[in-house]
Each structure stands twice: as structure tokens, then as C-alpha cells.
Amino acid sequence: MKKLFYGLAYCIILLASCQTEKKDSLEFKNVNQVLTKSFSNLNTLDTFKIELTGRKAADIVLHFTIVSAAGREIFAENLKGKDLVNNTDPNIDLSKEKDQFIYLKTIANDFFAEDNFLEPAVMPEDKADNNAPDKELYEDLKKSGLNGFKYRLGKETNLYIAWDDKEKKVKVYYKCC
């Protein structure tokens, strides 16, 4: 009878400790999204991929790539999670790792929101201003009608990228708030 009591007590303690661990640990689920959109050529589809890797908020990296329809990587950017957390709105409390983790997963999940795909990149009536680092590219995009993509680097920085047909590479054509 004593053995049964001790065995039952051990099982209860083991179950209770497992429940505590579940509450305190962060659930990790890798974010990995792929979709195709017209980007470097209006007649073909390029592949956009976003992947969030890392198990701790401080180590998370958001990998963003674009691969042409021909299979060539035309753009790659690795955004460090700690940089994204440090460049966020100061009114958002991200002092706890759990909140940082949730914030970074939200950024990754929303990365391919429909309004980030700009079709076309530059509207015919738009005028290049001081936020356009390459005015010639801006004007070329207006004429070609190629599409663009925007993504956020922090609370006040959005990068707008598009294919530069002259230089055959992806470039920033607008950088703003």
C-alpha cells in the first residue's frame, strides 16, 4: 500500500511540474511563408520568402528573399530581431522576452500583407521627393510600371524596393516614415 501511495504522489508531482513548465515556456513555431508575385518582370512571377528563425527573442533573425522566375536570388535581407525590437514605438512595452517574441512573430506574419505589394511601384502622377534616393530609378519605375514592395525596419523607417531594369538588381527607390 505504501508503494502505491508513493507512486501516486510521484505521478502527481511530476504532472504538476510539467504543467508549470508549459505555462512559463514560450511556444515556438517557425514562421515560413512563400508566395509568388509579379515583381522583376510584369509577365512572370517571382518568389517571395520570409522565414523567422531562432528560439530566443534576442537571437531571432527574419530572413527575406526574392527569387526570380528564372531561379536566381535577386534580393536577400536578414533583419535581426533585436534591431526590430529596439526600433519600435517607445510606447509599446517590449521589456519582457515573451512580448518581444510575440511582436517579432507578428511582424513576420504580417510581412506579406497585401498593402505591402505596390502595383505599380510608382504611380504616373507621383513626384520624386527627398525620400527618393535614386530619382532616375523613380522615374524609370513610373514609365515601366514595374511593381514594388515595402517593408518596415522600425518605427519610422519603411523601405520601398523595386527591380532596376538598367542595373538588373533590386534597389531601394523610396525610404520614408
pLDDT value of residue 29: 57
What ranges do the domains of the chain cover?
26-176
Number of alpha carbons in the 13 Å side-chain half-sphere of residue 88: 18
Rounded Cα distance between 66 and 39, Å, is 9
Please write the tens of the pLDDT for every residue from 118-177. Answer: 999 999 999 999 999 999 999 999 999 999 999 988 777 899 999 999 999 999 999 997
pLDDT value of residue 58: 82
Please write the tens of the pLDDT for every residue from 150-166. Answer: 998 877 789 999 999 99
More confident residue, 88 or 13: 88
Q: 3-state SS string over 43-99?
A: CCCEEEEEEEECCCHHHCEEEEEEECCCCCEEEEEEEEHHHHHHCCCCCCCCCCHHH
C-beta of residue 146 within 8 angstroms of C-beta of residue 120: yes
User: DSSP assignment, residue 1?
Assistant: -
C-beta of residue 39 within 8 angstroms of C-beta of residue 147: yes
pLDDT value at 104 more than 60: yes
pLDDT value of residue 18: 47
What's the chain's Rg over C-alpha atoms?
A: 23
pLDDT value of residue 11: 38
Q: CA-CA-CA-CA torsion for 131, 136, 49, 44, nearest 10 degrees? A: 140
Region of poorest pLDDT, from 12-26, 54-68, 94-108: 12-26
pLDDT value of residue 7: 41
Rounded Cα distance between 112 and 62, Å, is 13
Section 73-96 average pLDDT: 91
Please write the tens of the pLDDT for every residue from 21-63. Answer: 343 344 455 689 999 999 999 999 999 999 999 888 889 999 9
